[in-house]
Chains A and B, each alone.
Chain A
Amino acid sequence: MTRLKHAGLLVFVAVMIYPLVWMVVSAFKPPEQILTEPGLIPKDLTFENFKEGWHALNRPFSAFFVNSLVVTLASIAGNLFSCSLTAYALARLQFRMRRTYFAITLASVMLPFHVLVIPQYIFFSQLGLVNTYWPLLIPKFLATDAFFVFLMVQFIRTLPRELDRAAWIDGAGPFLTFWYVVLPLMRPALVTTTIFTFIWTWNDFFVPLIYLTRTRVFTVPVALNSMVDSETQSGVGMLFAMSLLSLIPILIFFAVAQKYLIRGIATTGLK
């Protein structure tokens, strides 16, 4: 019975993963064989797709990887900084409007981004910030990813209050308490935030598509999109090769942080 179960599950895993494996194999096949020879074992191996794809646009792909990395790392820094400050105040400090602020944070988790994006675009374009990374990064430094604020508030609430009080009695004010007591204890929540900010920002397409129109500032997803636009039959191989490369940072992150990732989803429901 269990053996049957495992056999069934393994077949299902194979079906689920097959498209990904096909993508990997295809990236190493000569372009004309990708669609004519759908099998998994390539007749001829080649790195031609990677070489061509790397220079398919008027800048090498390394530039787009650097751009994506800059945006992603800065977004992580922004979220860690702004969300932890906000969460500490909402979870631990006594002030008027505390409940209101928390309710607003919760409500804004459900707010669809599309209802904000047009005025934001007008605002940033009037400031001359189209084709810069500021429109992508400024919101991250202003604690607008409400989900992470919520996640951190919930986490801080599980920490014993005696720790804060002890620091308080020792004469530490809110800032020192936050920095030396609460922040180090928040590590799991900070790790979860880092992981999901990384994945979401690395994959993000809609916002960069709107703000980044010059090849020079493209992030990887926007660069891939513009390769699709100019796709020809021989371009399939390049597309596969570059798509595959674009997933590698996420796969590495998955391999390294898998434990935290699964725990993060299980406790918060993030994708």
Chain B
Amino acid sequence: MTSRSRFHLNRQGRAAHVFLIPWQLGFLLVTAVPLLASLYLAFTNYDILNAPEWTGLENFQRMIHDDQFWASVRVTLIYVLVSVPLQLAFALLLALILDRGLKGLAFYRSAFYLPSLLGSSVAIAILWREIFGDDGLINKGLALVGIHGESWLQNPRTALATLIVLNVWTFGSPMVIFLAGLRQIPDELYEAARVDGAGVIKQFRHVTVPLLTPIIFFNLILQTIGAFQTFTQAHIVSGGTGGPANSTLFYTLYVYQQGFVAFDMGYASALAWVLMVAIAVVTALHFLVSKYWVFYGDN
């Protein structure tokens, strides 16, 4: 190495430290220290007014006997397991219909994307309250065909379903990603398949699906992680209670209630760490299983 280029490297190293001052501060103060602090708090009893008191595994033992905790786990898992596959199915279906030079693509794409853009807002959650309420849009529609509907939000059996519908309604953003993925598939592959006598269905099964698996995988990871952290909609629709009968008590809503309503910050930290580990495990499992179904074209 010449002295001149070593000089450049030193200069780059020094410059890098200056460029990275915000990031390093942020990593330390906003991420690393809080992460460790909440790990510590998870083993304490802490109400923000008095000093944290070490209680060992008590918070975690409390979870085992906490009905609300299990209710929130159940609600969140049902939500993730039902709404994410449904949302992705709609996204993929619509992307396939819109693919390959359909006229008006830009219009349809924007129309279907609009709900994704607005879906996480308080305003749309408010709209949902009125749509599925006692005298809401849905029941008015049912009344036209002679069915008398009750409030969908006050019935513990249907309240979660309304939020699943809300998440499925926002299929536009994975759809746009699918559309981009479909465009990457070379026409020659379809032609080759046709020459070999493959019909539309066989082309779909043997060309489209395998080449799209990396995109499906990407969407699956992204939407799953997002669904685990749903908060706004559940908070607004249930007025912050997670009701009726805990049927919309999403996990993050329960963390919020414990931490910022009951100010039981030790327990809330323990709950948050369980969520983080759960998301990490699910993501790791997705990656492990992906070896068996995601096709990267080089094997």
Partner of A115, one of B23, B38, B118, B131: B38
B residues 86-140 near A (Cβ < 8 Å) are 94, 97-98, 102-104, 108-118, 120-124, 126-131, 133, 135-137, 140
* Closest chain A residue to B118, Cβ basis: A247
Q: Which of B54-62, B67-75, B77-85, B229-237 contacts A (4 or more CB under 8 A)?
A: B229-237
Q: Which of B193-201, B205-213, B272-280 contacts A (4 or more CB under 8 A)?
A: B272-280
Q: Mark A126-139, 1 if CB is under 8 A from B, else 0.
A: 00000000000011
Taking A118-B38, A239-B126, A271-B222 as given, write out 10 further A-B residue pairs in contact, using a Cβ cutoff of 8 Å, ordered by the A residue number. Answer: A23-B127, A34-B130, A93-B12, A108-B31, A114-B252, A142-B30, A168-B8, A174-B19, A203-B120, A236-B130
- Chain B residues with CB under 8 A of A2: 102-103
- Chain A residues with CB under 8 A of B16: 89, 93-95, 98, 174
Q: Which of A12-20, A55-63, A184-192 contacts B (4 or more CB under 8 A)?
A: A12-20
- Chain A residues with CB under 8 A of B109: 262
* Closest chain B residue to A26, Cβ basis: B130
Q: In the bound complex, do residue A254 and residue B239 qualify as a contact, i.e. CB atoms below 8 Å apart? A: no
Partner of B229, one of A6, A96, A114: A114
Q: How many A-B residue pairs have CB under 8 A?
A: 255
Partner of A224, one of B115, B122, B130, B169: B122
- Chain B residues with CB under 8 A of A199: 117
- The answer, yes or no, to whether B189 is at the interface (CB within 8 Å) is no
- Chain B residues with CB under 8 A of A26: 130
Partner of A114, one of B41, B115, B179, B272: B272
Whether A9 touches B108, Cβ cut-off 8 Å, given contacts A36-B135, A114-B229, is: yes
* Closest chain B residue to A114, Cβ basis: B272
Kindly state the separation between the CA atoms of A93 and B12 in the bound complex, as whole angstroms: 6
- Chain A residues with CB under 8 A of B140: 35, 38
**Chain A, interface SS category:** helix
Q: In the bound complex, do residue B272 and residue A112 qualify as a contact, i.e. CB atoms below 8 Å apart? A: yes
- Chain B residues with CB under 8 A of A38: 137, 140-141
How many residues on the A side are at the interface (Cβ–Cβ under 8 A)? 88
Interface range on chain B (Cβ under 8 Å from partner) = 35 or more
- The answer, yes or no, to whether A143 is at the interface (CB within 8 Å) is yes
Q: Mark B1-35, 1 if CB is under 8 A from A, else 0.
A: 00000001101110111111011011101110111
Kindly state the separation between the CA atoms of A95 and B10 in the bound complex, as whole angstroms: 8
Q: In the bound complex, do residue A89 and residue B20 qualify as a contact, i.e. CB atoms below 8 Å apart? A: yes
Q: In the bound complex, do residue B19 and residue A125 qualify as a contact, i.e. CB atoms below 8 Å apart? A: no
Nearest 9 interchain pairs by C-beta: A142-B26, A266-B180, A243-B123, A119-B37, A174-B15, A89-B19, A119-B34, A38-B140, A35-B135
Task: Return A241 CB to nearest CB of chain B, in Å.
Answer: 11
- The answer, yes or no, to whether A221 is at the interface (CB within 8 Å) is yes
Kindly state the separation between the CA atoms of A38 and B235 in the bound complex, as whole angstroms: 26
- Chain A residues with CB under 8 A of B113: 262, 265
Q: In the bound complex, do residue A115 and residue B232 qualify as a contact, i.e. CB atoms below 8 Å apart? A: no
